[in-house]
A and B are shown apart, each in its own frame.
Chain A
Amino acid sequence: MSGVWGAALRRELTLIWRAPADMVQPLFFFVVVVSLFPLGLSPKPALLALVAPGAIWVAALLAVMLSLDGLFRRDQESGALDQMLTSPVVSVVPVAAKLLAHWLLTGLPLALMAPLLGYMMQLPVAVLDTLMISVLLGTPTLTVVGAIGAALTVGLNRGGILLAVLVLPLYIPVLVFGAGVVRTAQDGLPTDGLLAVLGAILALALSLGPVAVALGLRISAGD
C-alpha cells in the first residue's frame, strides 16, 4: 500500500509543481485581500490590530476555498478521476495523497506567509507565532472539509459559487477558534486550550474527511 501512497503523492506533487501558478495564486490572493483592509478601513495601528485576526483568517479561508474549486476538475476532465475510482486500490488512499499535496502547496505557504501579514496588520510581534501555529493547524481542516464540497460539485458546470455556499458555513468553527486563538494571545491569555480545540477539529477532519471526500467523488461519478 505504501507503494500506491508514494506514487499517488508523487503524481500530485509533480502535477502541481509543473503548474506553479496554481500554487502561487492562492498565496497572492491571500496577500492582496489582507492588504485591502488597511486601505478600506483606516491605517490606524490600534484599529488594524483589532481586526487583524479576523481579516487574516477570513482571507486564508477564502484562499483555500477558491483553490479547491479546481482540485478534482482537471482529473475529471482527463478521465484520471474515473481511473482512480475504478482501480482496485481503496480510493481513500489516492484521495488522501491529493489532499496532502494540496495542503503542502497551498495551506502551508499560507501559514508561512501569515506572520508577515500579521506584522503588516500591526499585530504585536509576540503574537505572530501563535498566528502561524493557528493557521498551520486550521488550514488542513479547511482543505479536507472544502474537498468534500469540491467532490460533490466536480461534475457541475457552476462550481464556484455553489462551492462557496456549501463550504463556507462548514468553515465557521475553524474561523471562530482560529481567530479566537490570536485574539486570546493578544489579550495575553494562555492559548493552549484553544489550540487543542483546533487540533481536535483537525483530528476529526483527518479521520473522517478523506472517506467522505472519496464517497463524494463516487456519488459525483454516478455510483
Chain B
Amino acid sequence: MWKTIKRWYHQLGSPVYFYRFSSAVLPWLLPISVVLLGVGLAWGLAWAPVERYQGDSYRIIYIHVPASSGALMGYIAMGVAGLVALVWRMKMAEVMLKALAPFGAVLAAVSLVTGALWGKPTWGTYWQWDARMTSMLILLFLYLGIIALQSAIRDPRQAARAASLLAMVGVINVVIVKYSVEWLQTLHQGSTLKVVGESSIDAAMKWPLLISMLGLWLLYAANVLMRARTEVLNRERRAGWVRKLVSRPRGI
C-alpha cells in the first residue's frame, strides 16, 4: 500500500506522467462532477423537505456549505502543496499551488455572498462580525494575497516558491484567526454534519447536501487539473514531449 502511494507520488511528480494521467481522468471527472452537483442542487432546492423554522430559506445551505468547505480545503491543500514545493522542490507541487488559488478564491466569495443572503432572513442581518464569517473573509483576503504575489513575480518558479511560503504562513494564520475571532464573539450555528457520530441534520436534507458537496469538490478538482495542465504546457514548452504533442494532429 505504502509502496503504491510512494510510486504514485513520484510518477505524478513528473509533468509528462501528470499530463497523460490528467488526460485520462478529466473526461470522466468533469461530467461526473457536473452531474453530481446538478443532482444534489436539484434535489436540495426542489425536493428536499421544507425546514420547520427557516422555511425555504434554508435551501441556500446546498450552495453555502459546499462552497465554504471547498474554500477551506483548497487553502489547506495549498499549504500542503507549498510545504512539498519548498522541502522537496517538486515542480508539480508548485503547479498545483498556482492552480488551486483562483477557484478557491471564488468559492470563498460565493460562501460569503450566500452566507449574507442566508443571514438576512434568519438572523435579520446581511453581515455580522461573527467568528466564521470573519474567518471566511480573511480566508478570501489570503487567497487574494497569494494571487497578487504570484502575478507580481515574473519568473514562474520564483513566484510559485514565494507563494508556497506565504501559503504555509497563511495556514498557520487561519488557525489562529479562527480561535481569535471565536473568542471575540460568535453567532454562527455549529456544524450539523458530523463525520464521526450522529449528524444533527435530517437524512432527507443530508443526502442532497452530501451529493452537492461531493459534486462541487470534484468540480474544483477538475478545474485544478485543467489549470495545472495549461501551466505544465506553458512551463515545459521547450521540452521535447510538448513539441511532439503540439506538432501531432491529436493529443496524447
Contacts and interface: CB of A to CB of B under 8 A. Distances in A.
Interface of A: 145, 148-149, 152-153, 155-156, 158, 162, 165-166, 168-170, 172-173, 176-177, 180, 201, 204, 208, 212, 215-216, 219-220, 222
Nearest to A179: B184
A152 B138 contact: no
Interface in B150-189: 152-153, 155, 158, 161-162, 165-166, 168-170, 172-173, 176-177, 180-181, 183-184
Contacts of A155: 153
B183 A169 contact: no
Contacts of A216: 162, 165
- Interface size of B as a range: 20 to 34
A216 B59 CA distance: 45
Interface stretch (B31-39, B139-147, B191-199): B139-147
A170 B171 CA distance: 10
Contacts of A152: 149, 162, 165-166
Given A162-B149, A169-B145, A176-B184, 19 more contacts: A148-B169, A149-B166, A152-B149, A152-B165, A153-B149, A165-B144, A165-B148, A166-B166, A169-B173, A172-B177, A173-B180, A176-B177, A176-B180, A176-B183, A212-B165, A212-B169, A219-B158, A219-B165, A222-B158
A176 B181 contact: yes
A220 B158 contact: yes
A156 B162 CA distance: 12
11 contacts: A152-B149, A152-B162, A156-B152, A156-B153, A162-B149, A170-B173, A173-B176, A176-B184, A215-B165, A219-B158, A219-B165
Nearest to A177: B180
